[in-house]
Chains A and B, each alone.
Chain A
């Protein structure tokens, strides 16, 4: 049989290569094992646990969809999805627009010292943990803090920002953007630098103004990066934990409890493992739907991720 010959060769070639690389496979095994234990196993454990009732003693019984029924009756969970969505999309939109303005604006600066000092300053908050950023803003918004002193000097009454629930979500959005703008701007700036200079030369020959060049060349060329920023943001939509964990207090927690905080409170603090893992499964499915939907809508674009 003529057609079988190449196939046989292919298998024996693969076998030879595998033999040649046997030490390499040996090196890879611990690594792949790591991913099995710390990524895949928790995922499957979570799915199984979401159908079980686990007691403090560690015994678990199969209870079908009871956790899910309880979950959808739980007001905190439904609210956490709404909160996560409002805070997440709010932060994403605000930091998207502001970081684009920052990147485009910095790109027009000719003074490189000024450029790099603005860039470094705006990037720094991204490096800081939420314990730092949260601590900073709790202080600044405190009754004796910077903002209230500013209000007082303008003849305004002081406001208890951190204990009034009507301000809670907007504060999360603003501080989230404050922390994230610099990083997103770096991503945008890196793509602006990578734009083919010929495009600008051609535009200059046509004597297109700089403003026109920004609109007709830079912004269209940034589309893949914009899509990347959006998708990464949407994947993290419901996994906001650190921010609300640090900045939350009993007075405002109802407005800012995110799904992941709900999972933590129920699974770790209250040991209601079934409810927490059921919540995680629902959020996982939700995240996947949102990202696939956006990927589908952005299908025409070349994606970086």
Chain B
């Protein structure tokens, strides 16, 4: 069967290209617009006109916002909380997943159900009690609070468990001869064979910590502990409110937005090659 035959007819093909083009442009144009504003001068960023390339190139937006908001601090907070949180989440989920893979573990089903019920209830709804809880644990305005809230999720445990289970059992049986202890079996066989699963869970955990807004806004009031989303939120709010006691030019706000997306894009590029296979195995067998 020739390959050319198994294609769409000309008009439908054209329509498809058109649809993809529209979707692609509607995604990329706003992003280019923002980048162009971020790299414009103060003046140019406020002047009217459609800009897809900076009218007057400058990085004064970056230098201004960096100084004004003292971005080192929130940037450090975000990086620290996200990397540490993502590492812990992946590590703990992997251990839990490995344990729950043992079919003969007594009460395994009960433990699994116990974890899966937490996935059925939207945890966000318990926000007020989460606040009370954090207050009585002394987590308000601390890194502990930022890291421990949302540290483990049923989703990442189940995803990794499914991934581990996709490793052929014969590999484990063969390895049991070489490695006597479970610990060795876990980190010499199970982890290296599950790179896509590990990368996916680590990536998702990093992104959700990096982007987290609701928990920080609830438990953080101290400016020293602000994460990037909190700083951005206050900037964006100033720009949309009319009162404008503290005017910040668009180029500076867009510069801050641009900075806060860089780590995400880097993380995505690192994890990219594993992501699709990690996600599919997790969802197919879920």
Identify the A interface with B (CB < 8 A): 14, 17-18, 21, 24, 27-28, 31-32, 34-35, 37-43, 45-46, 49, 98, 101-102, 105-106, 108-109, 118, 120-122, 124-125, 127-132, 134-140, 142, 144, 146, 149-150, 152-153, 162, 178, 181-182, 186-187, 190-191, 193-194, 200-201, 204-205, 207, 209-211, 213, 228, 235-236, 238-239, 241-242, 245-247, 249-250, 260, 263-264, 267-268, 273, 276-277, 280, 283-284, 287, 291, 304-305
Contact = CB atoms under 8 A, between A and B. Distances in A.
A132 B210 CA distance: 12
A140 B33 contact: yes
A238 B214 CA distance: 15
Contact of A235 (B33, B49, B102, B122): B122
A211 B9 contact: yes
A136 B30 contact: yes
B182 to A, nearest CB: 8
Contacts, number: 270
B233 A149 contact: no
Classify chain B: how many residues form its interface, as a range: 35 or more
A286 to B, nearest CB: 10
A137 B33 CA distance: 10
A17 B124 contact: no
Contacts of A242: 211, 213-214
B131 A40 contact: no
Contact of B19 (A105, A124, A200): A105
Given A131-B233, A162-B240, A268 B128 contact: yes
B245 interface: no
A22 B256 CA distance: 51
Given A137-B30, A211-B9, A127 B207 contact: yes
A20 to B, nearest CB: 9
Contact of B260 (A31, A105, A109, A132): A132
Given A28-B99, A108-B13, A146-B30, A273 B128 contact: yes
Nearest to B158: A305
B151 A34 contact: yes
Contacts of B7: 108, 210
Contact of B27 (A124, A146, A201, A245): A124
Contacts of A194: 280, 284
B8 interface: yes
Nearest to A102: B23
B167 interface: no
Nearest to B105: A21
